[in-house]
Amino acid sequence: MLLSELFPKDGEVRRLYCDVCGQSMDLVFTDFSEDVSGVEITIRGLPHLHCHRCNKYYLTDDSRFAIIRIHEEAMKKGSNKASVAKQKRPVDFKFTNVPFLVDADDYRYIPGLYRQFDVGFLCPLYFNKEVLLKFENSPKYEVRFASQSYGTVDMEEDFISFGINRYGKVIMWLGDIAKLSESEQFYLRSENVESDHSIGSEFYDGQIECIFTEPPKEASIITGRTELDQAFEAHFKAKLYHLDKELIDTIAGLTPPVVDTEKERKHIFDSLTRIFIESMDNAKLEKLLKSIGASSAGSGSLKRFQSALETIDNSSAAPTALMPLYVLYDLRVAYSHLTSASRREELLSSAVERLGIRHGAGLSEIYGALVDAMIEGLKSLHSILTSTNGEQH
């Protein structure tokens, strides 16, 4: 390797994304051993960025400069060898007295985080996903998802943004957390875990890279779910959805189908059903209907939700807007293990007919039509709840 290869071309900084596939990479610490312009340099535990998809490794900018400095020192000493071990950076960020598990290497070596002002503010802290449940189950907080890997914890007068990485860990900035009361910080500390050095998420893309591309359809339906939940709570003074650990995993893992197999169909429709139907708080819906003197044609959450909506608008608006969710439920039943072949065919035929697509359509076509219908349906449900004449009757 030539020393000149270590200098960034045209002064460009190293970004978190792989040069080959464009995917976010993780920070890893691996040995470096190369002949650099006549000096054999060995560095144990040198920070690199690793692409899991391509299995390629890239030097971080600070690692490049470290190699250049070591080469310069070796040349001054007239030596053709240099061997060092990277030392762990001390944590000296003066933001909080709460003993969070902080890794200063993340702040220094993950691209885009280091600043010469407010040093350490953007140091990422990692948490078990249960930390979101603690907030969700407290009346003082509200957990809202903007997409599968980006959301906020809303408070009375403030909010904290969070991300979810590829390993299911929740990420927040140290500086944001330090603005909370000490009791709230200890609340977070109980679920704080060691860094896994993986920060790739829509949280990072938006907050550090300012990447705000057109959201995928999956993000749109997650946003629609959040907005529907907000509108329902504003109107009925009760939450429509609840959150649990498995649901956080399901939301974070929601992606379009890649192959059309029976296993993939079951997985897709199971996941969507968990997020949009099974997570409705059926017990609260039952209690709500009793409190407003309404009844439901069934005991399921969808029927009870529809009955609640019909106290606002008793036209065909509610069943029409709910159609995609009823189709989703039927598709989920169609691919359950207990459904007979004839019953499956009946459900599939009805589903594609209501979605307006051809009989015999593949999974990609069914999924696309379903998600499109869900996006519009969620908007319509939100409109019912926020209509200016939406008085209960």
pLDDT tens-digit readout, 97-127: 999 999 999 999 999 999 999 999 999 999 9
Q: Residue 172's closest CA among 157, 156, 151, 144?
A: 151
pLDDT single digits (tens) 252-307? 889 888 789 999 999 999 999 999 999 999 999 999 999 999 999 899 999 999 99
| CA 353-357-362 angle, 5° bins | 110
Are 327 and 373 spatial neighbours (Cβ–Cβ below 8 Å)? Answer: yes
**pLDDT given at position 392:** 44
Low-confidence residues in the chain, pLDDT < 70: 213, 388-393
Report the C-alpha gap between 275 and 22 in whole angstroms. Answer: 29
What are the residues facing 280 on neighbouring strands? 241
**pLDDT given at position 393:** 40
Query: To the nearest 10°, the Cα dihedral for 342, 347, 350, 351?
Result: -140
In 159-281, at which residue ranges do the beta strands (DSSP E only) sit? 159-164, 170-173, 192-193
Are 125 and 192 spatial neighbours (Cβ–Cβ below 8 Å)? Answer: yes
Report the C-alpha gap between 155 and 188 in whole angstroms. Answer: 14
Residue 367, H or E segment: helix 363-386
**pLDDT given at position 169:** 95
Q: What is the pTM of this model?
A: 0.76
Report the C-alpha gap between 267 and 265 in whole angstroms. Answer: 5
Chain centroid to CA 281:
22
**pLDDT given at position 342:** 93
Residue 287, H or E segment: helix 282-291
What tokens appear for 84 in the block? 């060092």
**pLDDT given at position 388:** 57
**pLDDT given at position 354:** 97
Report the C-alpha gap between 286 and 123 in whole angstroms. Answer: 45
Report the C-alpha gap between 11 and 337 in whole angstroms. Answer: 58
What tokens appear for 204 in the block? 């990072």
